[in-house]
Amino acid sequence: MNSFKKRIRKSIANKNLQSALDTNAQRRVEGKVAAFASVPDYQERRQRAHKIRKNVIANLDEIGAQFLAKVAENGIVIHRAKDANEAVKIALEIVNNSPRKAQSDTKEKTKSNSSRSPRLGGSKKLIAKSKSMVTEEIELNTALESAGHKVVETDLGEYIVQLRHEKPSHIITPAVHLRREDVAQLFHDELGIPYTTDIPILTETARQTLRQVFLEADIGISGVNFGVAESGSLCLLTNEGNGRMVTTLPSAHIAVMGMERLLPNMGDLALMLSLLPRSATTQKITVYTQFIQNPLPNQERHLIYLDNGRSNLRKTPLNDSLFCIRCGACLNACPVFREIGGHAYASVYPGPIGSVISAGLFGAAHAPLAQACTICGACKEACPVDIDLPKMLLRVRAGEFPQAEEKGAGLPFLLKFGLTAFRRFALRPGLFAVSQKLMGKVASTIKSDYIHLPAWTGWGYGKDFPRPAEKPFREKWKSRNQGLGIRNQELGNRESGKTTPNTQSLITLFSEELIALGAEIIPISAAELPDRLITYLRERGITRVQTDAASAKHVQSREIAVQTEADSNIAVGITKAIAAVAETGSILVKNENRDTGSASLLPEIHIAILQACDLYEKLEEVLNMPEIAGTAAASLISGPSRTADIEMTLTIGVHGPRELIVFLVDG
């Protein structure tokens, strides 16, 4: 506890940290209000999400078995890990046994300084890693690096903290504790660029550096946001495009997943996707939502299914903490986190949810974290799956977690004595009523509304005890002549009167949402498509494009060279969108192999050809399309790639395309 207090004091005294945290908090609050304005039934969705997660954890063995059976059927190699050591051992074995990526295997080469090439000699592997808190939990990077392999974090925030040899300070925005000046000095020192605080330049520097890593990586490692039991799909959410890079380009992909991250079906996933991005990054939906079913051709895909204390946690009063979907909303809402940041917690999982699951998964050493909580309830209010975090935090304080060494670990003796005495009174209604009357008599002798507490209590510096009520509520209630007259009101049928929007209204909604995401839409007829497409390319000075097989026929011109093979030096990729979601402005593309996946990922500009008849109003309609479960991988794309990892400043164009243009074909 004393070391925790020292870290708290250090954080509060750090002016740079305070400035960074204040900036993050203000922008998060403003963004969240705007994001949820389009969800009038938010509270109903929270309750549905809570029930879904509760059902999953209650039936984890059965749902997990269904999921793993489907994953195996899909051709993904499954590895079950009971703890962190076993998970690390499995990952090392996969990495050591995977072949090196031969230069001749791909045409994806960039014009770069070969002296800065990340390639390694001998049997050591280059590993491109997407953001994953569960790999932080098992300290996978440390183990891989100790074995001589090179691990490069590719999320911008994770890359920044890796260069600083730090741990993430937030589960969503790892570098939230840093100002742009800190990043500028870091990139000057580590990457050799002139000192600049221009965030787009800093982002472009990371893009160019990490692009070479993506192209040459032997292995990609990612986490998993959700596993869908009915289809065996692995769902990954990213904004920058690095998640798609590490799961598409390397010849081997390792996904590490906590066993609790399951959902029964795609309908449940649609609900979670309406809540998670809004809560995490104040977006209606993330830029890239991936659905991985099978390995790509000539690719190995592995799933490490991790327990690491979750089975034990499930059997304790902290069971509800496993409902968490890792959105980070409770951190952003917590007044304590907003003052001390994530590093003060000295745990991979900070903030309110971190104070619970750190004690639950890692033991009594993390129990004192719960003592920092004010029990204000902001975390519960912010949680999109309605976890009662204040109750969980009180249970941690009471020692109700696995590996608890004592009840009330971390509490001062006098506080434990007082709480024990209160518990004994509260469990005996008669005795409690007598004590209330006695306190009421004492209260009648006190004029002030508050009783000052001495400093030695630990609370006397900033808290006063409210004067007890002279007459308890139970007596006031009995004296009432009538009840409060509250009537139960049932919710009306929300589906009644529902109408199916026509195509034109879908086009209007889709266009508005797509443009709001920073993309461009060009409505045309089918007859106009080839000429308009070639004219557009000619006006942009494009002489070479990469297309998927379905789109090549639309680019028939002597002036423009067309290829289907991936090449990172090509500026424009053209693909077919098999569907689109009007309410989010998202398009759905299939990634059947590395080439088709790369066409919408590697170029600076992504042009998508969408038929108006393939527009759907709701996300759930698209997620239930058989085309998703029937392909190796598919991606919902919602605008150009983006990040806000430096000072919460939005920057367009990170690892994926800087521009998205949709040719909407009617007829």
Per-residue model confidence (pLDDT) at position 496: 39
Per-residue model confidence (pLDDT) at position 454: 73
DSSP state of 424: H
For residue 165, the tally of other CB atoms under 10 A from its CB is: 6
**Per-residue pLDDT for 400 more than 50?**
yes
136-149 average pLDDT score = 98
Asked if 308 and 138 touch (Cβ cutoff 8 Å), the reply is yes
Instruction: Report which of residues 312 and 411 the model is more confident about.
Output: 312
User: In this predicted structure, which of 4-18, 37-51, 485-499 has the lowest mean pLDDT?
Assistant: 485-499
Per-residue model confidence (pLDDT) at position 305: 99
408-437 average pLDDT score = 76
Q: Which H, E and C letters describe 526-551, residue by residue?
A: CCCHHHHHHHHHHHCCCCEEEECCCC
This prediction has a pTM of 0.87
**Per-residue pLDDT for 492 more than 50?**
no
Residue 250 contacts by C-beta under 8 Å, 6 or more apart in sequence? 101, 128, 217, 218, 219, 220, 299
Per-residue model confidence (pLDDT) at position 393: 96
**Per-residue pLDDT for 493 more than 60?**
no
Per-residue model confidence (pLDDT) at position 445: 82
Per-residue model confidence (pLDDT) at position 470: 77
The model's pLDDT over 623-643, given as tens digits with 9 standing for 90+, comes to 999 999 999 999 999 999 999
Convert 553-576 to b/e letters by CB count within 10 Å (16 or more is b).
ebbebeebebeeebbbebbbbbbb
198-218 average pLDDT score = 97
Domains for the chain: give ranges and CATH numbers.
503-666 (3.40.50.10420)
Instruction: Report which of residues 100 and 658 the model is more confident about.
Output: 658
**Per-residue pLDDT for 436 more than 90?**
no
The model's pLDDT over 458-487, given as tens digits with 9 standing for 90+, comes to 666 567 778 888 777 777 766 665 454 444
Q: If you average pLDDT over every residue of the chain, what do you get?
A: 90
Per-residue model confidence (pLDDT) at position 494: 40
Q: Residue 530's pLDDT band (boundaries 50, 70, 90)?
A: very high
Instruction: Report which of residues 416 and 382 the model is more confident about.
Output: 382
Q: Residue 401's pLDDT band (boundaries 50, 70, 90)?
A: confident
3-state secondary structure of 314: coil
CA 562 centroid distance within chain:
37
Per-residue model confidence (pLDDT) at position 457: 65
User: Could you tell me what percent of the chain has a pLDDT over 70?
Assistant: 90
Q: Residue 205's pLDDT band (boundaries 50, 70, 90)?
A: very high
Per-residue model confidence (pLDDT) at position 491: 36
279-300 average pLDDT score = 97
Q: Residue 250's pLDDT band (boundaries 50, 70, 90)?
A: very high
Asked if 265 and 628 touch (Cβ cutoff 8 Å), the reply is no
